[in-house]
Each structure stands twice: as C-alpha cells, then as structure tokens.
Homo-oligomer: A and B are copies of this chain.
Amino acid sequence: MLTISLDTSSKEPLYQQIYRHIRHAIESGDVAPREKLPSKRRLASYLKVSLSTVETAYAQLKAEGYIETKMKSGCYAAEIQPLERVRPPLRPKLLREKTGLSPFLYDFRTDRVDPEAFPFSVWAKLTRKVLSEGGKELLETAYPKGLYELRETIAEYLRRFRGMDVLPEQIVIGAGWEYLFTLIIQLLGHRCCYGVENPGYQKVSKILHSLDCPVSYLPVEAEGISLSALERTSVEVLHVTPSHHFPLGIVTTAQRRRELLRWANGGNRYIIEDDYDSEFRYEGRPIPALAEMDHNGRVIYIKTFAKILAPSFRIAYMVLPLTLLEQYEARLLFYACTVSSIEQRVLRDFIGDGYLERHLNRSRNLYKKRRDIFIETIKKSALGSKVEIFGEDAGMHLLLRVQGMTEHELVAKARRRGISLNGLSRYYIDPAEALQNTVIAGYAGWQDQRLRQGVTALIEAWEKGSTEP
C-alpha cells in the first residue's frame, strides 16, 4: 500500500517528499515488486499538486531504478530486495587525533622547526601577488611534473648552491618526499630489493613495507653505510642520507661516496639520495651531493621543503637521472601533479627573488646559535663532564651520550618532568645494536631563552629525577 502525506510547510520540495515516500514504500516492501503505481495524473490530482511535480518525482525514481515504465501501461515498482545488515553496528575506537601542539612542557623531538624563523609575511605577500596577477592559468591543469618555471628556478638553485647540473625536465615536483618516494618505487618496481640505513629514518622502511617491497637493512659505519654489508646483499636500490646521516649525523666520506657510485655502476642499480637538511651545516660548506658526482645516471636526488620552510609545506622535488627520464615519462606521467598551482608559483618567486637564500642564511645562523646554547648549557652544567655530544656539525639535532645512565633511564627521567626526547635505539631494527645510553635532541624549534630553560630542566631531570612514574 502506498501512503503519501505531504508537508506543505516543510522546506523539502514537494517532488522530493513524493520521491522519498515512494522510494521508502518500495524499499520496505509496502509496495510489492512489479506492483503498478498510480498514474502521474491520478496521483497529482489526489495529492493536489501539479502534474509536473509528480513527473519530477517519477523521473527521479526511474533514474535511480526504483520504478520501471512500460509503454502505454504506466509505472511499476522495480524488484528491489531489502538490504540486510549483516554485521552488528560498528563502534570503532576512534583515535584521539593529535594536533601539531606538543603535550610536553619541553619537546626535544627532531621533527620540529622554528615557525617564527619562517618569513611568513613574505610568503603571504608573494601569495597575494600570485593571486592578484593570476588569471586562467592558475586554474588550468598543471603539467604532471610540475610548473616548468618552478623547475627552472630549482635547476638554477641546484647549479648555484649544490653544483649540480640538471635540466628542468629532470625535476618532478610532488606533495612531500614520501609521495615522491612512492613514485620512485612504482618506477623501479616493488619486486627489487631496497637497501636502507640501519639506524635510519623510520618512514623509509614504513613506506617500503606498505608497498610490499623486500628490504635489506645496512649498518652505518663511521664512513657511511657499510659497503661490505651492501655487497653481501642483493640490494638493487639503495636509500641513503650521505650529506648528513639521520640520526647519527655522519657525513659519508668522499671515498665511500665513490665506492657507492661504483657499486651502483656495477649493475642496474640506483641510489636514492635523500638530501633532507644539507643547508644546515655549521662548519664549512654544504657537503657535495652524490648526485653531483654521478656521471652515469645512477642517483635519484630527493629534497623536501618541509625542513627548510616549515613542516606544513607539502612540497618536495626529485631529480631523475637522465637514464630514468624516458621510462618515467612513458609510465608515470599520467599522475597529475600533487601540488597546487598557486603554491608552485609562490615558491618559484620565493626562490627566484632570493628569499629562500636569505631565509636559509638566517635560519642557519639561528640554528647554529641554538646548537651553541645547547652545548654550552650542557658543558657548564653539573653533568657537563659526563655528557659526550656528537653529530653536532650539521642539521637540527644532536646526540647526547651520558655516562652512568641507561637510555631507558635518560628517556624516562626526562618524561617524568614533562620533557620529550627519543632514545637512539628506536632508529635501529634491533635496538640492542644501538650505542647504549644515547638520546637524540632536536634544538631547531626553540626560542633561545626557552632552550636554555629546557636544557637546564633536562639536566636536572637526569641528575635528580626518578624513573618511577
């Protein structure tokens, strides 16, 4: 039986009310499958609505397959079986979502940069300029590898500051290094074996596992990743951080770089060079990139802007060697560029107009000063003679090795006082392989005065604190 009661005071259009009632009647079985429905004219006159209102409702029901019309015979309910609920209602445990704000009093984790250091007003000004100049082309599909003018600007930047000679055509812009890394895996295949540093940046392994790639973990020595270990594996693609190893802070030696390149030349092998923080080198010049030394097209260079601008900027690029360019274009060019046209233009101006260089010089001085404050505060403290500092020549973090305490004690005592920092062992596949009693502390995301307080609080926690919760 079809019953329709219209509510003329409702905001819901009349045709939609009719549609909804009939749909419900058919879904619930009140109108049986193949049962004839009243003609549009009869229903309109019965409901005291216009014929076109009923026609619109019937048209919608027909478009969705709830009714069928037969020539000269009218409308019939379609055969709709009820939808069962096969599982009990779901009550998932929802994760409490963490915001960017740290719950800790002092947070020495390494993924923080100083938002105050970023020249936000310049970025805002350039964005306004792009928006006010930008016409149609801001809305057109961008070329999949990214805005050509941005890639030209990056090629010029690499020439000037990294001594790399690359064509804009080799550069691919993407929304973060993680995304670009998934593209590289699609390019090189997920069946070949990937080598990663141990210890190393955990996300690299997570991405490889998520894409089901075989992974070999390679120990890191004083010279860089272990070549003898590498040669005992069947690794075909190696991910490395040669300019500044994460987290140990080691610079791969010139000799080891050559050995790695020779290893790659010895087969159809590739090296993914993750140059995440080469700009922040406090003693001397940035270490030359492996990609600069590579004459045989074996190195894919990846660079994120998250570390040099701010983590919220989802822009990174990779430089493909010429050996892989045709393959990339043939197989992966169908992926649309993942970065908005507006931000690509703003970044082009930010680099091209010299703001990036100035920002980097400023940040380098700022972070160097903070590093010095960190070290000085430690050295002058009561624990000064018991703390060995290393990995401090570059980057935004350093390592602290403390005599007479275990890593667990170091982390737990700090946490008891609201201070967050990570032990070195978490970056190892087998935590037992790590140097004992060593923690990692990021110092970039701090104001000077607060950093002094934080380090002092940390020392106090270690000196006097308890590990009991």
Contacts and interface: CB of A to CB of B under 8 A. Distances in A.
Contacts of A366: none
A351 to B, nearest CB: 17
Interface residues of A, number: 120
A469 interface: no
A315 B321 CA distance: 29
Interface string A320-334: 011101100101111
B343 A343 contact: yes
Interface string A51-93: 0000010011001111000000000001111011111001111
Contacts of A91: 322
A100 B287 contact: no
A80 B202 CA distance: 32
Interface string A256-290: 11110110010000000000000000011101100
A311 B139 contact: yes
Nearest to A59: B284
A140 B10 CA distance: 45
A197 B36 CA distance: 33
A255 B139 contact: no
A66 B254 contact: yes
Contacts of A365: none
Contacts of A259: 81
A439 to B, nearest CB: 22
Contacts of A287: 63-64
Contact of A97 (B85, B99, B145, B206): B145
A87 B145 CA distance: 26
A253 interface: yes
A206 to B, nearest CB: 5
Contacts of A331: 210
A211 B210 contact: no
A115 interface: yes
Interface in A315-355: 315, 321-323, 325-326, 329, 331-343
Given A78-B254, A176-B338, A340-B312, A64 B262 contact: no
A95 B329 contact: yes
A120 to B, nearest CB: 7
A467 interface: no
A175 interface: yes
A311 B79 contact: no
A283 B59 contact: yes
A203 interface: yes
Contact of A210 (B186, B203, B311): B186
B340 A313 contact: yes
A236 interface: no
B86 A296 contact: yes
A412 interface: no
Contacts of A306: 336
A141 interface: yes
B175 A179 contact: yes
B138 A65 contact: no
Q: Closest 5 CB pairs between A and B? A: A65-B253, A100-B140, A139-B310, A175-B338, A60-B284
14 contacts: A65-B251, A65-B252, A81-B255, A100-B140, A116-B136, A120-B134, A127-B342, A128-B128, A141-B311, A179-B338, A190-B211, A207-B335, A338-B338, A342-B343
Interface of A: 16, 19, 23, 26, 56, 59-60, 63-66, 78-81, 83-87, 90-95, 97-101, 111, 115-116, 118, 120, 123-124, 127-128, 131-132, 134, 136-143, 145, 148, 167, 169, 175-176, 178-179, 182, 186, 189-191, 202-203, 206-207, 210-212, 223, 251-259, 261-262, 265, 283-285, 287-288, 293, 295-297, 306, 310-315, 321-323, 325-326, 329, 331-343, 393
Given A65-B256, A95-B333, 11 more contacts: A26-B254, A64-B251, A80-B255, A85-B296, A97-B169, A111-B141, A128-B128, A140-B311, A140-B312, A175-B339, A190-B212
